[in-house]
Amino acid sequence: MRIEFDYIEKLAELVSKNDLSEITVEDGDKAVTIRKERGFVAAQPVPVAQAAPVAAQQTPQPAAEAAPAKKPEASNLIRITSPMVGTFYRSPAPGAEPFTAVGKTVSIGQVVCIIEAMKLMNEIESEVSGKVVEICVDDGQPVEFGQTLMVIEP
């Protein structure tokens, strides 16, 4: 697979615009991984040497919400949305205790669910402290980028 610089730039732009954390493109035994880390996007061809970081855009464009809210909106409620397309899991393993539940309190940085994308388990952390008032997705259900996963009352 011959990787063109323009192609890598387009992948990096895709990661930035869609607020993705990582994307991998494979062709046979070779792959290119674009990973966003701490404010920049890095391209990492495998097994070739790592490409130079490309600056990430300041503000990613939010996607339209995939699922309508089931409850009326309150101005103080915070939505935790999916940062990627994948499969939603409430617990770290089948049969394990869920990360959280309706009525439980979560804190900043606490893992609240997992989104599986491309066979990678991505832990989703709460960006706010508060009480879980609604979990909008069933365990094992596919989710879209920007879809509301849960609602938190700070």
Q: Is the pLDDT of residue 121 over 80?
A: yes
Kindly state whether residue 48 falls inside one of the protein's structural domains: yes
Q: Are residues 49 and 84 in the same domain?
A: no
Q: What is the pLDDT of residues 59-70, one digit of tens each?
A: 444 444 444 444
According to the model, what pLDDT value does residue 3 have?
Answer: 62
What strands, in cross-sheet order, belong to the sheet with 30-37?
22-27, 30-37, 40-46, 54-55
Number of separate domains in the chain: 2
Q: Which residues contact 17 (CB under 8 A, 6 or more apart)?
A: 57, 60, 61
Give the H or E element holding residue 10. helix 5-17
Kindly state whether residue 70 falls inside one of the protein's structural domains: no
Q: What is the pLDDT of residues 14-63, one digit of tens each?
A: 777 777 777 777 766 677 777 765 444 444 444 443 444 544 444 444 44
Q: Are residues 82 and 41 in the same domain?
A: no
- The domain in which residue 113 lies consists of 78-153
CA 108 – CA 122 distance, rounded (Å): 17
Mean pLDDT of all residues belonging to the chain: 76
Kindly state whether residue 73 falls inside one of the protein's structural domains: no
Using DSSP, state whether 117 is helix, strand or coil.
Answer: strand
Q: Are residues 86 and 122 in the same domain?
A: yes
**Burial group, residue 107, by CB count within 10 angstroms (0-12, 13-18, 19+):** exposed
Q: Are residues 89 and 128 in the same domain?
A: yes
CA 87 – CA 122 distance, rounded (Å): 10
Residue 84 φ/ψ, nearest 5 degrees:
-160, 170
Confidence of residue 149 (pLDDT cuts 50, 70, 90): very high
Higher pLDDT, 78 or 10: 78
Higher pLDDT, 46 or 86: 86
Q: Domain holding 104: CATH number?
A: 2.40.50.100
What's the predicted TM-score (pTM) here?
A: 0.53
According to the model, what pLDDT value does residue 34 have?
Answer: 76
Q: Are residues 89 and 126 in the same domain?
A: yes
Q: Are residues 149 and 82 in the same domain?
A: yes
**Burial group, residue 29, by CB count within 10 angstroms (0-12, 13-18, 19+):** exposed
Kindly state whether residue 47 falls inside one of the protein's structural domains: yes
Kindly state whether residue 60 falls inside one of the protein's structural domains: no
Residue 6 φ/ψ, nearest 5 degrees:
-60, -40
Q: Are residues 146 and 86 in the same domain?
A: yes
For the chain, how many helices (H) and strands (E)? 1, 12
Confidence of residue 115 (pLDDT cuts 50, 70, 90): very high
Q: Are residues 51 and 83 in the same domain?
A: no
